[in-house]
Amino acid sequence: MSTAASSESRLPWSLVVPVKVLALAKTRMAAAAGPHRQALALAVAADTVAAALRCAAVRDVIVVTDDPVPAAELAALGATVVPDRPDAGLNPALEYGAARGRAAAPDAGVGALSADLPALRPDELARVLAAAAGAPEAFVPDAQGVGTTLYTVRPGVPFRPAFGGASRDAHRAQGARELLLDGIASVRRDVDTPGDLATALALGTGPRTAAVAALLDGGRPARPGVTG
């Protein structure tokens, strides 16, 4: 490995994770989750953030939220929590979080990570970030091949997240490198529907998601969480 490539692979990252106000989160899970919908949304976000914080390539996780409940729980895990400014939608919130990250660590790469990855594995995230370090701008498509679960830029590169709708095509169109690595299912498996949750549970979610999922399944034990 060249000196330049080795330096890229060791690039530290600040990851921005947007977390909705719980009353508005996981609406497509409403029928399946019932009174546990908000608890599920919090559990999924907490398992995502906990796994990201355990990734050796991650310097810090910046959570953007205006909800005091996830703010307190995710701060207790070790995340830096900032308010949603300018409260103008997802991408402006990500840009605000990224600016905070760059102010704290200008030599780190910056990424926007979905809060909906309860099966996220730190080693898989590390592999993706090592690959992302080799491109000015990169992204990982979601499992459906329509959206995006991770968008990254190297230090000094303009941060231009294009989340929402067909964000895979949007990130491709602006020249970001698509990262389609083998063995990164946990980085691509976001959870919006009951089917998504079942697939994530089969991969092995973190303990918080597994515990709430057990309540949705008539109290039967879910697959044990393995991502911590």
List binding-site positions.
148, 164, 167
> DSSP strand E in 19-157: where?
58-64, 80-82, 109-113, 137-141, 148-153
Q: Which residue has the tokens 């790469």?
A: 109
Hey, how many other C-beta atoms are within 10 angstroms of the C-beta on 2? 7
Distance CA 141, CA 109 (A): 19
Distance CA 38, CA 107 (A): 36
**Binding-site annotation, residues for phosphoenolpyruvate:** 148, 164, 167
At 54, the amino acid letter reads: R
Helix (H) or strand (E) segment spanning residue 114: none
End-to-end CA distance of the chain: 32
Distance CA 165, CA 54 (A): 29
Give the single-character DSSP code of 25.
S
**Is residue 43 within 8 Å of residue 208, measured between CB atoms?**
yes
Helix (H) or strand (E) segment spanning residue 18: strand 13-18
Helix (H) or strand (E) segment spanning residue 17: strand 13-18
